[in-house]
A and B are shown apart, each in its own frame.
Chain A
Amino acid sequence: MNRSEVPLLSVRNLITSFHTHDGIVNAVNGVDFDIFPGETLGLVGESGCGKSVTAMSVLRLLNPSSATTRGEVIFKGENLLAMTPEKIRLIRGSEISMIFQEPMTSLNPILTVGEQIAESLRLHEKLDQEKAWEKAVQMLKMVQIPSPEIRAGQYPHKLSGGMRQRAMIAMALCCNPCLVFADEPTTALDVTIQAQIIRLLDHLKKGSNMSVVLITHDLGVVARMAARVVVMYAGKVVEEAPVVPLFHDPRHPYTRGLLNSIPVLKHDSQARLTEIPGMVPNLLRMPEGCSFHPRCSQVMDICTKKSPSMVHFAENRRAACWRVSDE
């Protein structure tokens, strides 16, 4: 990847706070990252670390009465967070789109699959009903759904989980967006279908200059698809690296913990899987200092007092850990 390129999307100091009865919760707390044209970026972390909220904040899909988003999201030179609602609405679906986690619930049960894809085409590409339908069928064919003409006229309950996820992908890609947020696109599917969907996404990506932000906790998927990985913990970026160095030489103890908790088949079957002890901290009662220190195996004195700042220690690599800054 050529770093001199202008990023397609730059997220700078993104903070998303939710107003709850118990107080204000910063689900995303100062996240920065860039996405370059044609690149696949993996956004990795445990459940509740703010991956999905980051994506929702970028597209401004969170309910403004319960969540506020600050910071900057520069897309093609414009700040998405400062745009009028009408302008961002036109960007959604046409330039930036999203694939959701739950294929079982992400399609409206009372509209046919074709209608749902055609809706977006009519809106953004101004196609008439017939043309939009034709293109919807084409899209279903592109995502390798067999007999797309018949499937387009069917309601979602007649499609299997894998097929629904394909339809969802068709819906997200129908207006040729330049950036797609894929929010755990394979989590709700069984393993064989997961592989099919990943292959499909990879295949579709190769045919275009589309950038993909792959949000997942599945490191296997990341290893297969992403070129660069951003690791998040408790609403913050803790490490960023190209995929190969990250897997070979993780620097943040949290990344190391994540990689160690992948089961390896060759292992002695009696051996216990390594885990990261403890739980993700309650966002209302964040620990002082580094938010990972209560679970960290290499905790130092300073970790409990001061939050580490991000250190760029090599080309394209950065991490927020006192151990890294010491080196």
Chain B
Amino acid sequence: MTDMKDVDKGLESDENTASGSRGWAKLKRNRAALAGGMLLLIYLVCALGAPVLFKGDPSAPDLMHSLSPPSRAYFLGTDELGRSILGRILYGARVSLLIAVGVVGVGLVIGVPVGLVSGYYGGKTDFIIQRFTDMMLAFPGFLLALALVAILGVGLKNTVISIGISMIPLYIRLVRGCVLTVKEEVYVEAARACGTRDLNIIRRHILPNVLAPIIIQTSLGMGTAILFAAGLGFLGIGVQPPTPEWGSMLGSARAYMMGKPHVATFPGIAIFLAVLSFNLLGDGLRDAFDPRSRI
């Protein structure tokens, strides 16, 4: 048993080569993902620190200074009601963050458990759930959200609910697909052969092993949620004024596009950067942690 002792010596100094740490190293090397992370950080600072970064009410009109171009007093200029665009973008970041978190929350809370059940139990349960998902996926996501808003009505809460619902099938499909692979693993069979309860198998053996793709989808989903919310706002059926929301800012700036382009440009850039940050980070996470893309 000398070989065993040799193995033993190296036990504690053994470097951690778990796939997790390898993934992190890979993520750190990915410049695009790092840039996405930095942008996201800036976005979070803007959203959380809006009251500190901008003093005053972003919704209080000041008609004397309406549509003024960027200046020392109004860093990004003002909109048609004379409100600071900078202030509205900063406060708008809070709204879009709230929407992103809320939407992904709805998707996760409903989509993940349903996907787990669908994939794990299979059979009729799976069939029914999957046909239902097929039905929802037949609509383009935005159209589904649009239809739901038409039913539920406008406003922040309904925006979150309708975009959230439109994302549920994506999570169901994703989780189910991953569960189908993981549940065939011998360790799941071994756990069943040990008499482990189904619920415990799902919770302890399956869920942690499908977490990586869920996290990736969450990051990408937040970007999509912001884009969808801005789309609804732009059409005037999302978050309602005077709440500062990027999409509705863009919508009302449409009329001044030719004469005062700054009014539409800055909210547009904000949407672009926020979505870009989530997408870059999500792609980076996928490259780093998704076993299918590991080379």
Contacts and interface: CB of A to CB of B under 8 A. Distances in A.
Interface of A: 59, 61, 63-66, 89-94, 97-98, 100-102, 105-111, 116, 119-120, 123-124, 146-147, 150, 154-155, 157-158, 160, 168, 171-172
Interface string B144-170: 000000000000000000000000000
B25 interface: no
B187 interface: yes
Contact of A108 (B1, B12, B205): B205
Interface in B243-272: none
Nearest to B183: A63
Given A102-B186, A105-B186, A123-B197, 7 more contacts: A65-B123, A65-B124, A93-B194, A105-B187, A116-B187, A119-B196, A172-B194
Interface string B4-35: 11011001101001110000000000000000
A19 B185 CA distance: 21
Given A146-B8, A158-B14, A61 B189 contact: yes
A110 B187 CA distance: 11
A36 B197 CA distance: 29
Contact of B186 (A106, A154, A155): A106
B195 interface: yes
23 contacts: A59-B193, A65-B123, A89-B195, A91-B195, A92-B194, A92-B195, A93-B193, A98-B190, A98-B193, A106-B187, A106-B189, A108-B209, A110-B208, A119-B200, A119-B204, A120-B195, A120-B196, A123-B197, A146-B5, A146-B8, A147-B11, A171-B190, A172-B193
Q: How large is the interface on B (under 10, 10 to 19, 20 to 34, 35 or more residues)?
A: 20 to 34
B276 interface: no
B204 A111 contact: yes
A63 B187 contact: no
Given A64-B123, A146-B1, A157-B17, A119 B194 contact: yes
Contacts of A91: 195
Contacts of A158: 11, 14
Nearest to B185: A105
B55 to A, nearest CB: 48
A97 B18 contact: no
A146 B192 contact: no
Contacts of A171: 190, 194
Contacts of A108: 185, 187-188, 191, 204-205, 209
